[in-house]
Structure 1
């Protein structure tokens, strides 16, 4: 009887643990997290550097630390297919601050919380993808998968993770 009870308790605990965090997320101990992603730019996708809407596709990275300022220099953002962007310049995120990594070309600005990939190709798939954030050391900082049918209830092309 005790053995069956322990097995039942173990199943309940395993079920609760499995449902506490979405299966699509991998949580790491990191101040920087992927806040959300605008995976589908408004309008018809057009990756022309002039007149296109690649800059309307972005990933938001936020510093969730209450005390530490984090420099993005050396951090890497990737998708499941291996498309990537590495922050090569200093971009300091104060506690609670965020930055949007946008496609296309533009002027990077800490004041306006934006960095451009300087690449007019879309990186995030409209049908679903995985977003990876790596520390300069190569260690994982955060990652999330999304599927519009599961994660974008209002159909606006934006998914929030944290």
Structure 2
């Protein structure tokens, strides 16, 4: 699993000792760390496979997906698991409620493809047509990840 995590991924961290679950971003992944501390967040470091230590039998870090959140809610209860923030296309839709245009990385395949296109496909989103995003040049895209003027992904907005 250590090879799957990458810097910037949003993850749930399950701390059994303190009985709490936190949301965090992966800061760094060291593919050469072997079984030592290969995955780092602002809160903790994890061995390969997302374990707290080499001796741990179960992982303590999981991708922050709706499916993983629901699994954690089943285990720990709704109040114990943080809500997922809006990201990617969902965040673009929310931004369009407040402003006329949103600068985005776009793709018709998925959000990860939008983020990783080389060279990036950038579009100015001006609205939504059914489930598609309308771009200022009159084309459409199925996925639109909002970015700032420097091309950095926008991951939160003030008081939506």
The answer to whether the superposition gives a TM-score over 0.5 is no
Higher helix share: 2
Larger RCO (CA under 8 A, 6+ residues apart): 1
